[in-house]
């Protein structure tokens, strides 16, 4: 099949490369000429493990190409995906779907023959109806169907998630479009991946509901971690004890500094706004948003307390800046709240992240970026672990202790054992575990 992918951001590029790897011919389109030039020359503008090799192989074998103009690709396509950004709209928190509608209008002007237009971007319920209206208005004679096909990709494991998904959700109103989508995803039948066909609005809500539930699960264990500290319990054992219940499951039960990233913050807010306007507010989600925002602020105070109640004039080493490991994504990362809060109280920040340095420099002022964890820790009054990159999991503790000015470690991801750290001579503060 021939596929056109409008947008070469995280979702569009990963999805396009994976569809090409299935054997389809894919053209990824973006108005950003600089980005397209990078891709054509073999580069990948985002950090995602294995994506560079996947793109290079499918380009070499002629199944994947890139363009700034959508005319030719859309005219030849059986399926056109809209994978443009839907950022939070300033002022009200709703998803800004103007880029989706603009793409739909451009597609309508040039498509030729029956075309399935798929919203891959995360969009509010009812967006597919509006996309259909936009296309009809632009091209009353067009033969097409609009489908919802939300993505469920984890940054850092996106290729595996695409090729071996828990499920594929397809919201479709027409049998002909259903057949096209079934053929598009036919390679997944070998892995027996569940493909759930629903009505379009149901599909759109599934995406929001899934992200909101996971955000609530993270926030729940963070609340329990605070209770554990108050009662002298261990949140990791609590998480294991409840996670072994198949009705609950162990994933997303890791206490930490709060959720971030491109999806959870934006999607929970968008869902709450949609629910309010529909007259059916989602109170649990609204509370989750509030708790998560306050959680990030509380982490800065935890660091100040570990430093004796003041960080004024002190050097704080921060390991990990991205919202999670194996990505360079800084969107809504806890570090973006924690570091400015420490700076406001007079701290001097030195930081190291294996992949996020370039993006972090755009967002953080007054930070000294180092080339490694030990350089970052050199003569620091305290070291803070904000993101659980693998290379932070087995640091040379003797070397680290001799490097730090004061042997204080605040581990916001619980990647070390308290007894081990105390035995190594550190004052060790973690999350939700007895001190």
- 296-429 and 2-198 share a CATH fold: yes
Q: What architecture does CATH give domain 296-429?
A: 3-Layer(aba) Sandwich (3.40)
400-404 mean pLDDT: 96
Q: What angle do CA 432, 217, 223 make, to 5 degrees?
A: 35
Active site residue 263: yes
Q: What pLDDT sits at residue 191? A: 77
Q: What pLDDT sits at residue 216? A: 98
pTM, entire model: 0.93
Q: Which of 134, 147, 139 is nearest to 179 (CA)?
A: 147
Q: What pLDDT sits at residue 88? A: 83
Active-site pick, 18, 28, 228, 263:
263
- Whether 54 and 43 have beta carbons less than 8 Å apart is answered as no
As a whole number of angstroms, the distance between CA 237 and CA 67 comes to 51
251-281 pLDDT tens trace:
999 999 999 998 999 999 999 999 999 999 9
Domain ranges of the chain: 2-198, 296-429
331-381 pLDDT tens trace:
999 999 999 999 999 999 999 999 999 999 999 999 999 999 999 999 999
Q: What pLDDT sits at residue 434? A: 86
9-38 pLDDT tens trace:
999 999 999 999 999 999 999 999 999 999
Categorize the per-residue pLDDT at 189 as very low, low, confident or very high, splitting at 50, 70 and 90: confident
Q: What pLDDT sits at residue 190? A: 81
Q: What pLDDT sits at residue 92? A: 74
- Its CATH class, for the domain covering 2-198, is alpha beta
Q: What residue spans of 49-126 are helical by DSSP H?
A: 51-60, 71-76, 98-110
């Amino acid at each position: 099949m021939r596929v056109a992918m409008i947008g070469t951001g995280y979702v569009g590029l990963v999805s396009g490369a994976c569809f090409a790897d299935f054997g389809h011919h894919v053209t990824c389109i973006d108005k950003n000429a600089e980005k397209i030039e990078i891709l054509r020359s073999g580069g990948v503008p985002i950090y995602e493990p294995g994506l560079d090799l996947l793109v290079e192989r499918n380009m070499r074998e002629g199944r994947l190409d890139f363009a700034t103009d959508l005319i030719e690709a859309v005219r030849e396509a059986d399926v056109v995906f809209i994978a443009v950004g839907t950022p939070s709209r300033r002022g009200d928190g709703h998803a800004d779907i103007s880029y989706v509608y603009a793409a739909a209008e451009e597609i309508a002007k040039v498509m030729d023959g029956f075309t399935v237009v798929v919203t891959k971007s995360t969009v509010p319920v009812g967006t597919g109806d509006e996309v259909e209206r936009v296309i009809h208005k632009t091209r009353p004679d067009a033969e097409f169907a609009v489908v919802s096909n939300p993505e469920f990709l984890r940054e850092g494991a996106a290729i595996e998630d695409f090729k071996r998904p828990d499920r594929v959700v397809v919201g479709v109103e027409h049998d002909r479009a259903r057949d096209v989508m079934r053929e598009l995803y036919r390679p997944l039948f070998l892995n027996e991946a569940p493909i759930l066909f629903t009505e379009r609005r149901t599909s759109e809500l599934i995406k929001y509901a899934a992200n909101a539930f996971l955000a609530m699960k993270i926030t729940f264990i963070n609340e329990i971690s605070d209770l554990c500290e108050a009662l002298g319990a261990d949140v990791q054992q609590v998480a294991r004890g409840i996670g072994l219940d198949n009705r609950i499951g162990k994933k997303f039960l890791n206490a930490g500094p709060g959720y971030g990233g491109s999806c959870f913050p934006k999607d929970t807010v968008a869902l709450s706004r949609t629910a309010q306007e529909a007259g059916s507010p989602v109170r649990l989600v609204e509370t989750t948003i509030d708790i998560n925002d306050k959680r990030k602020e509380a982490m800065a105070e935890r660091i100040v307390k570990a430093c004796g109640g003041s960080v004024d004039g002190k050097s704080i080493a921060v390991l990990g800046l991205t919202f999670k490991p194996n990505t360079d994504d800084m969107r809504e990362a806890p570090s973006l709240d924690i570091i400015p809060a420490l700076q406001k109280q007079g701290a001097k920040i030195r930081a190291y992240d294996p992949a996020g340095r370039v993006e972090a420099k755009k967002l953080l002022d007054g930070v000294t970026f180092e080339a490694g964890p030990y350089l970052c820790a050199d003569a620091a009054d305290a070291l803070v672990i904000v993101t659980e990159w693998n290379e932070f999991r087995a640091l040379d503790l003797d070397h680290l202790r001799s490097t730090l000015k004061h042997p204080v470690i605040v581990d916001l991801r619980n990647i070390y054992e308290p007894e081990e750290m105390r035995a190594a001579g550190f004052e060790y503060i973690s999350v939700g575990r007895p001190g």
